[in-house]
A and B are shown apart, each in its own frame.
Chain A
Amino acid sequence: MEDLKDVILEYVIAEYASEDDKLTYDTPLISGGLVDSFSMVSLKRFLEVKYKISIPDEDASPEAFDSVNKIADLVKRFTG
């Protein structure tokens, strides 16, 4: 599980963060204004390719993508 979270955190930092941002597993990404809902699509695409899953649009809500912890929970649902 920690590996999954670390992979997601690493991607989020590289894709969305600036040098000043200090991110943790719980940092609010969308409600905190770091990731906008339009840019979120690259994260969803990354998860789907990396973990060979398909996340339906209705499950890819801003709430479900709002922290590394929540994203990890979402991925686990689809990877079993």
Chain B
Amino acid sequence: MSYGERTRTIYQQQLNEIREAGLFKQERFIHSPQAADIEVEFPSGADIKKVINVCANNYLGLSSHPEVVRAAHEGLDQRGYGMSSVRFICGTQDIHRELEQVVTEFLGTEDTILFPSCMDANAGVFEAILTKDDIMISDRLVHASIVDGMRLCSAEHDTYKHGDMGHLEQKLQQWKDKRLRVIINDGVYSMDGDTAKLDEIVKLAEVYDALVFVDDSHASGFIGKTGRGTHEKCGVVGKMDIITTTFGKALGGASGGCVSGRKEIVEMCRQRARPYLFSNAMAPVIIAGVLKAFEILNRSTELRDKLEENARYWRKGLADAGFILKPGDTPIVPVMLFNAKLSQDFSRDLYAEGIYAIGFFFPVVAKGQARIRTQISAGHEKHHLDKALEAFIKVGKKYQILGKTAEEIIAMYGM
């Protein structure tokens, strides 16, 4: 079929609808390595501006860490650029298996399988291990990649109210006759920054004979005393049946992900998970970088300790200034503005002040819950946080929201 005017018009109309709905995403071009200080071209063609980044998933500051970069160079030299194969044909090097073993030990599981991304891990795992005789019960706020994975799976699915253990128990009772039950959660919820109650979930799983799945992408490397993740924070290491996580955030920030957990489940993924079977093996250069990231974390908790302190300082600074924050103790600190347009105006004004932070609104978050999501890093120094706080307070004063209640802000700007 030729790409004629009729076809072009169809897509142009759809794109216009996205623009009119205020949902058109425009990318900003960064001209420097990922870090606390970055150089940004925005809008396209504008002069490059030096800004402080408070919206990256670079929680441990490893994205441009000199040791990680050096290890990646060495990996490139020693194992080449690409594998030109899926894992099971001729795409598995010694370092792929080494990384799987390192992840297994770090997370306290039985085995691990690498995927090109955590999106792929979540897309593939359910279909690989469940049948139509099973039930997947997910928290209502799980990541979109989990929802996509559940849609691809023949098992039935149901959801429970976010973090509501009573509702989860009702669902477990309702589905007690299924062959397998899987309780599905994020470890740290990316838009709110709150944490799954994995200790309570494990207890329910034991009572109702269910498997526990957690996506710890926003936790692996820094949540818990030694950064193992949400299961460490909740005191249930060794009791997770399935952990998925990414290497694209705290663990070097390049790409790649995994399924880690019970050895039979991992083996089922190796035999059946389609994104694993039909995608190229992870590039050696990335494997080498991720291995170094784990080596750094196994050596010391210095980075996650600094991140914890930075996040505490940032949260207290914003709260003392009179902003409304989503409660939590993770490096994800959402500043609540409620109104969608206000969140976009606020983000634009922060950028003018040299702070790069993004406003989120419906449908990414619930209606009337628009916010600036800030994400703190061990790569931030105190001067970064102080400058960012200064900018937030200046813009907060401009919009007269400091010290105001949610009702007062909504009365001023609407939902």
Contacts and interface: CB of A to CB of B under 8 A. Distances in A.
Interface of A: 16, 18, 32-33, 36, 38-39, 41-42
Nearest to B144: A38
A18 B163 CA distance: 12
B207 interface: no
A62 B157 CA distance: 17
A38 B159 contact: yes
Given A33-B362, A33-B366, A36-B140, A42 B158 contact: yes
Interface string B124-158: 00000000000000001000000100110000011
Contacts of B159: 38-39, 42
In the complex, the 6 A-B pairs of residues with the closest C-beta atoms, listed nearest first: A33-B367, A39-B159, A33-B366, A38-B147, A42-B158, A33-B362
B363 interface: yes
A6 B186 CA distance: 34
Contacts of A18: 161
Contacts of B363: 33
B367 to A, nearest CB: 4
Interface in B341-398: 362-363, 366-368
A39 B159 CA distance: 6
Nearest to A28: B367
A35 to B, nearest CB: 9
Given A32-B367, A33-B367, A39 B140 contact: yes
20 contacts: A16-B161, A18-B161, A32-B367, A33-B362, A33-B363, A33-B366, A33-B367, A33-B368, A36-B140, A38-B147, A38-B150, A38-B151, A38-B157, A38-B159, A39-B140, A39-B159, A41-B157, A41-B158, A42-B158, A42-B159
Interface in B170-190: none
Nearest to B138: A38
